[in-house]
Homo-oligomer: A and B are copies of this chain.
Amino acid sequence: MELFVEHGYERTTTADIAARAGLSERTYFRHFPDKREVLFDATHALDTLVVDGIAAAPADAPPLDVLAAGLRAGAGMLDGLGDHARARTAVITSQGELRERELAKMSGLVTASAAALVERGVAEAPALLAAEAGVAAFRVAFERWVATPGGPPLPDVVDTVLAELRRVVAPA
């Protein structure tokens, strides 16, 4: 992050990153599969928080409510990390390959969430659709939260956006 913020992502080589960590470039690639992945270390933690939150939700709740509980749990992880999140987001949005990787991570969250819903007995089709819609809402909420420092905490924004989503997608 220091290097990326100071010199920009593209102008930072993997050799630079490794040197800053006091390691060789080869060793960097033993810890991360590629240059992008250093910025996406925490996403696995988010996934497990959401999945656990889904598993812990009340048994009789409808799928999207269950997912909402999971997403709130995941959102809680970012409490107080607003500044870091903003810096990281600035780096990511500055570079196409990084934006793609971020989308891929969100797609992984969709898959994990859908699987967690299926685990609870939700049928595959609605599980996938709920996961897609819910994670999309999470992404939108995250963008808003990052764009408004000093605003409401992320879990609240997630709730707000989910409510908006329900209104927009309401059956005719």
Chain A: residues with CB nearer than 8 A to chain B?
62-65, 96, 99-101, 103-104, 107, 125-126, 128-130, 132-133, 136-137, 139-140, 161, 164-172
Contact B132 A136 (CB under 8 A): yes
- Are A64 and B168 within 8 A (Cβ)? yes
Q: How far is the CA of A168 from the CA of B101 in the complex (A)?
A: 28
CA distance A139 to B107 in the complex (A): 12
Residues of B with C-beta under 8 A to A164: 125-126, 129
Q: A59 to B168: give the CA distance in the assembly, Å.
A: 17
- Known contacts A96-B104, A107-B103, A140-B132; decide if A166 and B161 are in contact (CB<8 Å): no
Given contacts A125-B164, A136-B136, A164-B125, contact A130 B169 (CB under 8 A): yes
Going nearest first, the 4 A-B pairs with the smallest beta carbon separation are A132-B136, A103-B103, A100-B100, A169-B169
Given contacts A126-B167, A129-B136, list 7 more A-B pairs with CB under 8 A: A96-B104, A103-B107, A125-B164, A126-B164, A132-B133, A132-B136, A169-B170
Contacts of A126 in B (CB 8 A): 164, 167-168
